[in-house]
A and B are shown apart, each in its own frame.
Chain A
Amino acid sequence: MDSLIPFTTSGSLVDCVDRKMLVVLRDGRKLQGVLRSYDQFANLVLEDTVERIYHQDVFAETWRGLFLIRGENVVLLGEIDLDQEDEIPLRQVDWSVLEPYHKQEVAAKKQRDELKAQVLYDRHGFCKEGGEGDGY
C-alpha cells in the first residue's frame, strides 16, 4: 500500500514527540502544546494545548486542552526552543483584554481579502471560487 511506504519527513517528526510544539492552522490559529502522536498525513495529537493570539508586542493565551488535528488544516509545526521562549520581547496580557483587538484584526484581514478577490474577479478575470485564497 502506497501510504505505508516510509516517509522521510513525517517520519522524522518522531524526535518532536513529547516536545512542546507550535502548530499554525490554515485558519490562522496558533496552538502550543505537547505533540503526542502523528501520522503520514500530518494528523497530529496535541496535549495540554493553549491557543495564543498576538497583537503588536503583546500576546495572550487561553487553555484549550486535547486536540486531534486533521492534517489538511496544518500549515506548520515548529519546535519551540525553551531557552529562547523566555527571551522573546513580548508582554503577556489577559485573554479578555486582547481578544477584541484580535477579532478586529481578523475581521479587517477578511475584509481586505474579500476586497482583493473582488478586484481580481472584476478587473482581471479571476474566478470567484476559493474564498480561502489560493485554494489554501
Chain B
Amino acid sequence: MLIFSVFKTLTDQQVTVELKNDLSITGTLKSVDQFLNIRLDSIKVLDEARHPHMMAVKNCFIRGSVVRYVQLPAEHVDTQLLEDATRREAAAQQKR
C-alpha cells in the first residue's frame, strides 16, 4: 500500500515506464490504482521505429502486471520519508 501512496503523490509528473516486452514509455502520470495499473498521458515511446504500432497513440493504460520498472523524478521522491514510513509500517505489522 505504501508504494501505491508514493505513486499517488507523483501524479502529473513525468515518468518512464519500462514494460516486460522491452517497450519504454515516457509520459505524464495521470493515475494509479492498487494493482499499480498506470494511466499515462501525452506519451513518447523510446525507439519508436521498433514499435511502429504506438505512433498514433497519445495516452494509454498499462496493466500493472506487465511493468518491469518505473523511472521516477528523483526530486519528487523523499527517500528518507519513505524509509521511515516503511519502518513504521513494519513495526505496526509486528504489533498485530
A residues lining the B interface (CB < 8 Å): 7-13, 16, 22, 24, 26, 28, 30, 42, 52, 54, 57, 59, 71-72, 74-81, 84-85, 88, 90, 133-134, 136
Residues of A within 8 A of B19 (CB): 75-76
B residues engaging A (CB < 8 A)?
A: 19-21, 23, 30-35, 37-39, 43, 52-63, 65-66, 68
A-B interface contact total, Cβ < 8 Å: 94
* Contact B56–A85 (Cβ < 8 Å): yes
Cβ-defined contact, B66 with A9, below 8 A: no
Q: How far is the CA of A88 from the CA of B55 in the complex (A)?
A: 7
Query: With the chains together, A134 CA to B67 CA distance in Å?
Result: 11
Given A24-B53, A57-B52, A136-B20, A78:B60 Cβ within 8 A: yes
Q: Is B56 in contact with A80, judged by CB distance below 8 angstroms?
A: yes
A8-B31, A81-B56, A136-B20 known, 14 other contacts, Cβ within 8 Å: A7-B34, A10-B37, A26-B66, A42-B37, A71-B63, A75-B19, A76-B23, A76-B61, A77-B62, A78-B43, A78-B60, A81-B57, A84-B58, A136-B21
Structural contact, B56 and A76, CB atoms closer than 8 A: no
User: Which of A10, A16, A78, A136 touches B54 (beta carbons < 8 Å)?
Assistant: A78
Report the nearest B residue to A27, measured CB to CB: B21
A9 contacts B39, C-beta separation under 8 Å: yes
Q: Are B52 and A59 in contact (CB under 8 A)?
A: yes
Across the interface, do A16 and B61 meet the contact criterion of CB distance under 8 Å? yes
Task: Tell whether, in the assembled complex, residue A76 and residue B58 are in contact, meaning their CB atoms are under 8 Å apart.
Answer: no
Which chain B positions have C-beta within 8 A of A54? Answer: 52-53
Residues of A within 8 A of B58 (CB): 78-79, 81, 84
